[in-house]
Amino acid sequence: MRLTTKGRYAVTAMLDLALHAQSGPVSLADISRRQQISLSYLEQLFAKLRQSTLVTSVRGPGGGYKLNRSAADVHVAQIIDAVNESVDATNCGGQGNCQQGEVCLTHYLWSDLSDQIHTFLSGISLADLLARQDVKSVANRQNMREKAGLDAKPDDVITTANID
């Protein structure tokens, strides 16, 4: 069981957006550079986040994205759900056809674990993450690197396949 790249990147990008929200709309190019995520992949993620009304776009010079609600009202599970991601501990994708089309002995155990993980992530907001010292330390390091011109080169940016 693991959260895929899509879910991880969506949460990372939203946290970056929340971290830099005080200076106005945040461009996807800035998020891409700081987090080393492909710009085209971020565009796909943010289309889904916009459809779920978690973010809003601002057009024109100085445009970008901003949170559509306060950081305290955006929870990690909402972000993961918005990009059609799930954290599923079952081997059958929650279908209950684990053992030759029927439920296996441990299906409900793993299904309950999946529910617990979703509940856990539903209790963590972007504001909770922003308040964490470890998040502040990493963000500070990234900002210092950006100011010093030590950003990743375009060839270093992580790329991944199209979403859905």
- pLDDT tens digits for range 131-152: 999 999 999 999 898 888 765 5
Which pLDDT score, from 0 to 100, does residue 4 have?
83
- What residues form DSSP beta bridges with 64? 58
pLDDT at 121 over 80: yes
pLDDT in tens, 31-47: 999 999 999 999 999 99
pLDDT in tens, 11-22: 999 999 999 999
CATH 3.30.413.10 assigned to domain 5-87+125-156? The reply is no
Report the SS3 class of residue 39.
Answer: helix
Report the SS3 class of residue 64.
Answer: strand
- pLDDT-above-70 percentage for the chain: 90
Query: What's the mean pLDDT in 87-106?
Result: 88
Q: Are 102 and 61 in contact (CB under 8 A)?
A: no
Q: Are 67 and 55 in contact (CB under 8 A)?
A: yes
Give the closest residue to 27 by CA, choosing from 5, 73, 60. 60
Note the pTM of the prediction, 2 decimals. Answer: 0.85
